């Protein structure tokens, strides 16, 4: 008997010691978890520890954490659950504030919540409370062992939730502060952008440049790649600058409306509107309208599409856009008044400078080479042109010829072209490869012009003994090579336009100049010439004329081409320079 009593006494004593050890281990684990939770103020890190530690310790199959946002609870972190759960939103009163097991058939209060647990096969909900205020809830799936949660495990999960509440609350506050800081940073960035743009606007009286500054702000600050700018001219015609928004129906909507005319502040558009024009604009992709007004007069409208990141426009965004447009409108009005006042003086100044510059830019006599028929011709749209062509002897058997187009018009374009010509004639005599020549020209333009100025250029070197032709196309209209068997080839090898990126590496292309082959180089004033229907002359007409008249001399082919352009654009003033350069092996 004594032996049995001793045995039972030792057994229960060992069980008590085991329970104490398990309890101490649990407390030690909670202490370590508490240290881990409080070691970070990043919300994602805290939530990861809250969810993953018990899932790993108790071998739980899946889990999700809900946090309160206003009057609702939304999923913030989940494991083993389909990502579609992120679109779920639960009302505050549906979340239990005590440990909740699924299924709970005693109360109908949490019917919707139980349906949510069943939908994602979740077995247990542990609330996260701070001062009796429910701030979140951790939902767990079944254990991999299929065994139910023991009381000790429920105590462990409840204790973990209590320990984590402070960490979650602190992390939420930090997250809120970070969001506020981010909003402040965005606000500061917008103010800085407005300041930079204001400086740019005040530094220019060019209406097109002002519009470009606005579009850069839309695309860069608002992350928009679809927009339309509608400006009313003195003649009452709308000038449209569209990207991603169809122009023709837009002209109809803008020209025949009253609601837009009376619009005085920026507005959001919605699918359902009381105005037919707004509904049509929505279907065309417009999401925001900013009126352009000056002295209570409507000068035009800015139409913006959806942001690239799909985020909605905030009130701060609309305030930024309204301020930006107001500044731009003032600058545009100043530019208009200034241009009206100084137009006569500007023309007279350009005329005085034009003659001396233009004579130096273009060759007066076309050099002839044995075995080749060469012709170049330029017709300026104004007194000073931005197009340029040249024929330069390189050695006894090699000569270079080039065609180029400077962005913009007038004296500034002519000065840049003069700089290009001087640089080219100096560099081409150096004993370097063609790609290096163009690379040096690129750096020259980059260093000596403003960021909005650039040059397209085609430069080729022909050996009239080997008949090998090497070329670099720096963003220019691809010249046409018509072979003796009437095949057409576009000469596109090269790289980007000059003046955009320094130290750019260009690629050299080449071909064999066979007998009766014809090379036609031209500027965009040829293919982009418009008729009265605002249709472009186009590359097809150029090709057809070249093929049809291939047996003529290059001078006669050029005249045929220019004559066709004149007939096509009859009744429309020439708006751009026309330059043609041709080489034919005879």
Tens digits of residue pLDDT in 506-521: 999 999 999 999 999 9
Mean pLDDT (the chain, rounded): 81
In the block, which residue shows the tokens 């000569």? Answer: 399
pLDDT at residue 39, rounded to an integer? 56
Could you give phi then psi for residue 27, rounded to 5 degrees?
A: -65, -40
Evaluate whether the domain defined by 204-338 bears CATH number 3.30.450.40. yes
Tokens describing residue 357: 């510059």
Q: Tell me, yes or no, if the pTM score tops 0.95.
A: no
Q: What angle do CA 442, 448, 449 make, to 5 degrees?
A: 90
Pairwise pLDDT comparison (431 vs 455), residue with the higher score: 455
Range in 4-8, 161-165, 502-506, 575-579 the model is least confident about: 4-8
Cα–Cα dist 278/152, whole Å? 63
Each residue of 361-378: b (16+ CB within 10 Å) or e?
A: bbeeeeeeeeebbbbbbb
Contacts of 29 (CB under 8 A, 6+ apart): 57, 156
pLDDT at residue 1, rounded to an integer? 46
* Residues forming beta bridges with residue 389, ordered by sequence position: 403
Range in 19-33, 224-238, 353-367, 431-445 the model is least confident about: 19-33
pLDDT at residue 8, rounded to an integer? 46
pLDDT at 182 over 60: yes
What is the pLDDT confidence band of residue 25, given thresholds at 50, 70 and 90?
very low
Cα–Cα dist 14/16, whole Å? 5
pLDDT at residue 218, rounded to an integer? 74
- DSSP secondary structure string for all residues of 229-242: EEEE-TTSPEEEEE
pLDDT at residue 12, rounded to an integer? 47
Pairwise pLDDT comparison (164 vs 27), residue with the higher score: 164
pLDDT at 13 over 80: no
- DSSP secondary structure string for all residues of 436-459: HHHHHHHHHHHHHS-TT--EEEEE
**In the predicted model, what is the mean pLDDT of residues 96-108?**
69
DSSP strands (E only) in 523-562:
none
pLDDT at 83 over 60: yes
Q: Is 204-338 in the same CATH topology as 24-175?
A: yes
Pairwise pLDDT comparison (84 vs 233), residue with the higher score: 84
List the domain boundaries for the chain: 24-175, 204-338, 362-585
Evaluate whether the domain defined by 24-175 bears CATH number 2.40.50.140. no
**In the predicted model, what is the mean pLDDT of residues 328-351?**
73
Pairwise pLDDT comparison (28 vs 73), residue with the higher score: 73
DSSP reduced 3-state for 244 = coil
Task: Tell whether the torsion through CA atoms of 555, 558, 562 and 567 is positive or negative.
Answer: positive
Length of the chain: 586
pLDDT at 461 over 90: yes
**In the predicted model, what is the mean pLDDT of residues 321-329?**
81
The Cβ-side half-sphere exposure at 127, using a 13 Å CA radius, reads 16
DSSP state of 258: S
Pairwise pLDDT comparison (500 vs 14), residue with the higher score: 500
What is the pLDDT confidence band of residue 530, given thresholds at 50, 70 and 90?
very high
- Of the spans 19-28, 89-98, 103-112, 410-419, which averages the highest pLDDT? 410-419
Evaluate whether the domain defined by 362-585 bears CATH number 3.60.40.10. yes
pLDDT at residue 283, rounded to an integer? 84
- Of the spans 5-14, 47-56, 133-142, 177-186, which averages the highest pLDDT? 133-142
What is the pLDDT confidence band of residue 492, given thresholds at 50, 70 and 90?
very high
Cα–Cα dist 264/33, whole Å? 58
Cα–Cα dist 57/79, whole Å? 15
| Cβ-contact 475, 498 below 8 angstroms | yes
What are the CA-CA distances from residue 388 to residues 4, 358, 411, 471, 541 (Å)?
Answer: 115, 9, 14, 17, 23
**What is the per-residue pLDDT across 557-586, written as a single tens digit (0 to 9) for each?**
999 999 999 999 988 888 888 999 999 998
pLDDT at residue 31, rounded to an integer? 56
pLDDT at residue 21, rounded to an integer? 45
DSSP reduced 3-state for 291 = strand
What is the pLDDT confidence band of residue 51, given thresholds at 50, 70 and 90?
confident
pLDDT at residue 29, rounded to an integer? 57
Cα–Cα dist 188/195, whole Å? 10
Longest dimension (CA), the chain: 133
Burial of residue 555, with CB atoms counted within 10 A of its CB: 0-12 exposed, 13-18 middle, 19 or more buried: middle
**In the predicted model, what is the mean pLDDT of residues 368-393?**
85
């Amino acid at each position: 008997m004594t032996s049995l009593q001793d045995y039972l006494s030792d057994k229960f004593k060992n069980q008590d010691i085991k329970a104490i050890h398990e309890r101490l281990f649990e407390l030690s684990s909670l202490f370590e978890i508490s240290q881990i939770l409080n070691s970070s103020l990043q919300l994602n890190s805290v939530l990861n520890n809250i969810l993953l530690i018990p899932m790993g310790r108790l071998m739980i199959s899946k889990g999700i954490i809900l946090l309160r946002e206003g009057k609702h609870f939304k999923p913030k972190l989940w494991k083993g659950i389909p990502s579609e759960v992120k679109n779920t939103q639960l009302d505050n009163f549906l979340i239990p504030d005590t440990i909740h097991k699924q299924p709970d058939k005693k109360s109908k209060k949490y019917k919707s919540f139980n349906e949510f647990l069943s939908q994602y096969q979740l077995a247990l909900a542990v609330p996260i409370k701070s001062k009796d205020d429910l701030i979140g809830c951790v939902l767990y799936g079944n254990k991999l062992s299929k065994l139910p949660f023991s009381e000790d495990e429920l105590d462990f999960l409840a204790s973990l939730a209590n320990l984590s509440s402070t960490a979650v609350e602190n992390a939420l506050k930090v997250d809120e502060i970070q969001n506020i800081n981010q909003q402040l940073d965005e606000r500061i960035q917008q103010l800085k952008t407005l300041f930079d743009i204001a400086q740019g606007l005040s530094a220019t009286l060019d209406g097109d440049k002002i519009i470009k500054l606005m579009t850069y702000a839309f695309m860069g600050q608002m992350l928009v790649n679809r927009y339309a700018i509608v400006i009313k001219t003195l003649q009452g015609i709308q000038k449209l600058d569209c990207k991603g928004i169809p122009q023709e129906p837009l002209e109809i909507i803008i020209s025949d409306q009253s609601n837009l005319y009376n619009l005085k502040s920026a507005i959001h558009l919605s699918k359902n509107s009381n105005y037919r024009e707004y509904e049509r604009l929505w279907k065309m992709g417009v999401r925001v309208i900013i009126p352009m007004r000056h002295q209570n007069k409507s000068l035009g409208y800015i139409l913006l599409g959806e942001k690239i990141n799909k985020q909605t426009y905030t009130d701060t965004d609309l305030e930024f856009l309204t301020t930006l447009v107001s500044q731009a409108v003032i600058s545009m009005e100043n530019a208009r008044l200034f241009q009206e006042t100084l137009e006569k003086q500007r023309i007279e100044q350009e005329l005085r400078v034009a003659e001396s510059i233009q004579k130096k830019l273009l060759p007066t006599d076309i050099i002839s080479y044995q075995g080749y028929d060469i012709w170049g011709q330029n017709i300026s749209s104004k007194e000073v042109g931005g197009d340029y062509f040249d024929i330069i002897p390189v050695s006894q058997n090699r000569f270079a010829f080039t065609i180029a187009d400077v962005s913009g018009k007038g004296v500034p374009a002519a000065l840049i072209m003069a700089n290009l010509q001087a640089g080219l004639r100096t560099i081409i005599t150096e004993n370097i490869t063609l790609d290096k020549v163009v690379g040096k020209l690129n750096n020259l333009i980059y260093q000596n012009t403003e960021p909005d100025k650039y040059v397209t250029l085609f430069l080729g070197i022909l050996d009239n003994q080997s008949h090998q032709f090497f070329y670099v196309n720096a963003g220019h209209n691809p010249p046409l090579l018509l072979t003796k068997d009437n095949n057409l080839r576009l000469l596109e090898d090269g790289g980007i336009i000059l003046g955009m990126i320094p130290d750019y590496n260009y690629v050299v292309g080449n071909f064999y100049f066979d007998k009766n082959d014809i090379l036609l180089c031209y500027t965009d004033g040829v293919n982009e010439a418009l008729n009265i229907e605002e249709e472009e002359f186009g590359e097809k007409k150029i090709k057809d004329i070249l093929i049809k008249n291939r047996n003529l001399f290059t001078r006669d082919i050029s005249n045929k081409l220019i004559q066709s352009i004149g007939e096509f654009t009859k009744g429309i003033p020439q708006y751009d320079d026309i330059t043609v350069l041709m080489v034919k092996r005879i």
